[in-house]
Structure 1
């Protein structure tokens, strides 16, 4: 039986992402988030407008989306109540956040240079996506109570780095979903994926049929 319900959040489960960006003083910010989805080589990020990550993205137009596996949950959790903003925004003060400038050190993670953008990649993350901002849209712009507090940022991936251990054998351009164990956040708690539960009709479609023109655009940019 279903009942009408009013949960405060509707975070039913999405991958955790560590977004690396560059601060105005040239230092690096690293922030965990999970409001993200992908279509082709594009991703849409849902972020609080005042956050340091958002401000860095709007100013520089660059980031790296680092996807941690389940074994990095401790590192992600150490970043959970930190912010690169100083002072801490009022909304985050209420939730117990503190300013932290050395995010990599706090998490115990290692920055490594990216190929196409200024922010570094996270060495320990099996998936690292270098990306640039393509569009920014406000959320709830028709609601005076929350207008200006949330943004959705469309980014275009222009370089993908994958740990060999998660690749499908014999296929350097395909991830094996039985090997890739992403860290998932559901209603503010951490989870991992379980075993495959059923064969998928969609899995019968050749993966190259989903190839986006952004892949060739990224390849051409790297060749220049």
Structure 2
């Protein structure tokens, strides 16, 4: 039986990322976030409208989405809790400039998306940026035979509610190929008919 769960927030598992952007005061800057999704070449992120990252991305119209690893937990929290500061100086993370866009691509992140803002939509105190992915930068260890090695990539997930939020870590112990469960069920149905 289900019940209505009264909470201000409910995060059911979103990858944490560094959002890199051009900053009028610091040159380049970053913040930590977990509000994103992609469909094809479209990427949508959501930010608090009053934050520095939101203002800078609206001004310059581009950003990078950088997926860190568990080894970056200190930097994840440093970049997430110090709004408006020089977070590259604070975290000592290094970056390269984007291939096409004027955004920072964080060196230690194995997966980086270079994005151009296409639309901006306000929703209460939040701003949603709909962007086009211009380039996908992936560590060569995560690509074999032209395929992304999903089992080798372990992003950090953000979960929780209005009272407590946690980090969850993926491990490569268990994974199923998409469609394999349905394929196995069909195979079992054929066997049971015989």
TM-score class normalised by the smaller sequence: 0.7 to 0.9
**Structure 2 residue matching 1:4: 3-state secondary structure:** coil
**Structure 2 residue matching 1:125: 3-state secondary structure:** coil
User: Structure 2: 5+ residue runs without aligned partners?
Assistant: 183-194
CA distance in 2, matches of 1:49, 1:156: 20
Cα RMSD after superposing both structures: 1.9
Aligned residues: 177
Structure 2 residue 119 is the aligned partner of structure 1 residue 118 = no
Residue 55 of structure 1 deviates from its aligned partner by 0.8
User: Structure 1: 5+ residue runs without aligned partners?
Assistant: 85-99, 140-146, 205-224
- Aligned residue for 1:170? 145
In structure 2, the CA distance between the partners of 1:115 and 1:201, relative to structure 1 (3 Å rule), is same
**Radius of gyration: which is bigger?**
2
The counterpart of 2:169, out of the listed 161, 176, 192, is 192
In structure 2, the CA distance between the partners of 1:203 and 1:70, relative to structure 1 (3 Å rule), is farther
In structure 2, the CA distance between the partners of 1:6 and 1:42, relative to structure 1 (3 Å rule), is same
Q: Are the equivalent residues in 2 in contact too, given 1:15–1:182 (CA < 8 A)?
A: yes
Structure 2 residue 119 is the aligned partner of structure 1 residue 135 = yes
Residue 189 of structure 1 deviates from its aligned partner by 1.5
CA distance in 1, matches of 2:180, 2:116: 29
Structure 2 residue 126 is the aligned partner of structure 1 residue 153 = no
- Aligned residue for 1:81? 81
- Aligned residue for 1:143? none
Alpha-carbon displacement from aligned partner over 1:136-187 (angstroms, at most 9, x marks no partner): 1111xxxxxxx3x2111101111111101112x222xx31111011111112
Structure 2 residue 105 is the aligned partner of structure 1 residue 105 = no
CA distance in 1, matches of 2:4, 2:121: 31
Residue 80 of structure 1 deviates from its aligned partner by 2.3
In structure 2, the CA distance between the partners of 1:39 and 1:22, relative to structure 1 (3 Å rule), is same
- Aligned residue for 1:45? 45
Structure 2 residue 6 is the aligned partner of structure 1 residue 6 = yes
In structure 2, the CA distance between the partners of 1:166 and 1:203, relative to structure 1 (3 Å rule), is farther
Q: TM-score, normalised by structure 2?
A: 0.84
Which structure's residues are more often strand, by fraction? 2
Q: Are the equivalent residues in 1 in contact too, given 2:151–2:175 (CA < 8 A)?
A: no
Q: TM-score, normalised by structure 1?
A: 0.73
In structure 2, the CA distance between the partners of 1:36 and 1:193, relative to structure 1 (3 Å rule), is same
Residue 197 of structure 1 deviates from its aligned partner by 4.3
